[in-house]
């Protein structure tokens, strides 16, 4: 019994006493509603799986973006001063202007050019990069034993090459590689400039495009190899905040207006980051379909609940229950189901993200060494999910649940007591 009429219709909060009792009754209808409970459970499970998958996907994609950013920053810095495809002869003045900026931590002039690398009859295109010795030692990828093997090229005739390029050329530390580039004389005669170099180190950046083409040598030796005089191609900048590099370097960009342009690491690698963004949107939409199917399950369970409780609704209407009260009950039931699924999915997704190392270790033990390299990539990838993204996923699931409950609630509220109780 719900109690006396006054107690039944009292409203101490959002829901009255009878509304709260009815919500509890419909959330667990007992033996006569096992099918409804089963369908609702399927909906909760599907919502939980969809929300968990969205959290995992967002975390992994954010981690991939962060890792790429760190790798690109380790090679090109957070920003770069260039002259739109031309070499910079007065690079020392530009470097001095950059160093005067408070946000700039370090500057690295670099000379780049296309060459051909050959060894024992194998010839592959390569990207030559000339750096000062002190700048090489400051690069994280050239000072980490996990990514660099050997010694830095300190003198002319010494080079460090990418790991994939070394593998394709069939050389290791101590091997010899010939660098070649075509030259045109003043008489327009075409010739081939060829110099032999000793490989003093091998570096693995984790970026295939770099590892398969990169050749690093001393800046002065690179200027001689490329006949560049005292010019450089760019000046790489390391700032105090990579994410805000463009904003921090805005005063410098205004100062260099007309002389050179500044591009951030995101702009330099815009194609890759645009592809990641498109992939993230596509995967999120695909997984969002799982949540949508789950919401339809909740819709069907509520419609079945309304159909099975038509007589109860008619009796409640005759006892004084308003249409608004009936609608509130069914909205609350559906929202509770969806919120429960979203909460479980949130906890599940965060647990997977937090325990990815243990999960990868278990899978590696399960499948053996065949997929150890692929699983290692999963372990090394940082998983990151922001509070705003987590809130957006939960809000999407809960708002979707509220929307799908509106039709069953309106259908329940529109039950006419006379037409039902007549028979």
pLDDT single digits (tens) 16-73: 777 777 777 777 765 555 666 777 777 788 888 888 888 888 888 887 777 777 777 7
Q: What average pLDDT does the chain have?
A: 80
Asked if residue 245 is part of any domain, the answer here is no
Task: Calculate mean pLDDT across residues 137-155.
Answer: 81
Q: Are residues 163 and 290 in the same domain?
A: no
What is the pLDDT at residue 3? 45
The SS3 assignment for 88 reads strand
User: Phi then psi for 156, rounded to 5 degrees?
Assistant: -60, 145
Q: Are residues 110 and 219 in the same domain?
A: yes
Asked if residue 154 is part of any domain, the answer here is yes
- DSSP E strands in 219-348: the ranges are 234-239, 261-264
Q: Model-level pTM?
A: 0.65
Q: Are residues 285 and 406 in the same domain?
A: yes
What is the pLDDT at residue 20? 77
Asked if residue 182 is part of any domain, the answer here is yes
Q: Identify which of 351, 322, 290 has the alpha carbon closest to the alpha carbon of residue 409.
A: 322
Q: Are residues 168 and 308 in the same domain?
A: no
Q: Are residues 143 and 208 in the same domain?
A: yes
The pLDDT tens digits for 340-391 are: 888 898 898 888 888 777 776 676 666 665 555 555 555 566 677 778 888 8
What is the pLDDT at residue 420? 66
What is the pLDDT at residue 5? 46
What is the pLDDT at residue 411? 84
The pLDDT tens digits for 237-259 are: 888 887 788 888 888 888 888 78
Q: Are residues 214 and 289 in the same domain?
A: no
Under the banding of pLDDT at 50, 70 and 90, the label for residue 9 is: very low
Q: Are residues 149 and 230 in the same domain?
A: yes
Q: Identify which of 300, 303, 404, 337 has the alpha carbon closest to the alpha carbon of residue 27.
A: 337
Min mean pLDDT across 29-38, 129-138, 172-181, 190-199 is at 29-38
User: Token match 């692929």: residue?
Assistant: 374
Q: Identify which of 338, 346, 319, 341 has the alpha carbon closest to the alpha carbon of residue 408.
A: 338
Q: Are residues 40 and 144 in the same domain?
A: no
What is the pLDDT at residue 374? 53
Quote the number of domains for the chain.
2
Q: Are residues 280 and 385 in the same domain?
A: yes
Asked if residue 324 is part of any domain, the answer here is yes
Min mean pLDDT across 51-60, 110-119, 216-225 is at 51-60
Q: Are residues 201 and 277 in the same domain?
A: no
Domain of 291, in residue numbers: 5-65+273-421
Residue at which a domain ends, from 213, 236, 259: 236
Q: Quick one: tokens of 423?
A: 């028979």
User: Phi then psi for 194, rounded to 5 degrees?
Assistant: -135, 125
Q: Are residues 169 and 284 in the same domain?
A: no
């Amino acid at each position: 019994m719900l109690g006396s009429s006054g107690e039944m219709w009292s409203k101490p909060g959002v829901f009255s006493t009878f509304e709260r009792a009815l919500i509890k009754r419909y959330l667990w209808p007992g033996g006569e509603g096992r099918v409804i409970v089963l369908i609702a459970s399927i909906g909760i499970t599907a919502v939980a799986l969809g929300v968990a998958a969205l959290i995992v996907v967002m975390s992994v994609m954010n981690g991939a973006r962060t890792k790429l950013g760190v790798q690109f920053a380790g090679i090109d810095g957070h920003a770069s001063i260039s002259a739109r495809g031309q070499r910079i002869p007065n690079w020392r003045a530009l470097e001095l202007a950059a160093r005067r900026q408070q946000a700039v931590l370090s500057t690295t002039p670099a000379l780049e050019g296309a060459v051909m690398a050959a060894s024992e009859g194998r010839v592959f295109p390569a990207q030559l990069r000339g750096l000062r010795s002190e700048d090489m030692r400051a690069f994280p990828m050239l000072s980490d034993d996990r990514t660099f093997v050997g010694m830095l090229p300190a003198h002319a005739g010494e080079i460090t090459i990418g790991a994939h390029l070394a593998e394709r050329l069939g050389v290791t530390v101590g091997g010899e590689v010939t660098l070649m580039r075509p030259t045109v004389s003043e008489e327009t005669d075409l010739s081939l400039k060829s110099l032999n170099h000793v490989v003093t180190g091998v570096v693995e950046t984790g970026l295939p495009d770099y590892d398969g083409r990169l050749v690093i040598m001393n800046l002065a030796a690179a200027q001689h190899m490329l006949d560049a005089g005292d010019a450089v191609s760019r000046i790489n900048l390391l700032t105090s905040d990579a994410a805000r590099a463009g904003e921090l370097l805005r005063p410098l960009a205004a100062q260099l207006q007309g002389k050179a342009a500044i591009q951030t690491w995101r702009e330099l690698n815009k194609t890759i980051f645009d592809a990641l963004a498109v992939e993230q949107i596509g995967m999120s939409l695909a997984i969002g379909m799982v949540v949508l199917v789950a919401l339809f399950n909740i819709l069907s369970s509520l419609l079945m609940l309304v159909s099975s409780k038509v007589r109860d609704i008619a009796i409640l209407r005759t006892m004084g229950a308003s249409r608004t009260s009936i609608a509130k009950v069914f909205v609350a039931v559906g929202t509770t189901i969806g919120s429960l699924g979203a909460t479980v999915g949130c906890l599940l997704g965060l647990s997977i993200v937090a325990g990815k190392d243990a999960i990868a270790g278990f899978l590696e033990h399960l499948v053996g060494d065949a997929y150890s390299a692929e699983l290692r990539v999963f372990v090394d990838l940082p998983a990151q999910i922001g509070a705003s993204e987590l809130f957006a996923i939960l809000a999407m699931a809960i708002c979707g649940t509220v929307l799908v409950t509106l039709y069953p609630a309106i259908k329940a509220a529109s039950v006419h007591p006379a037409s039902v109780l007549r028979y």
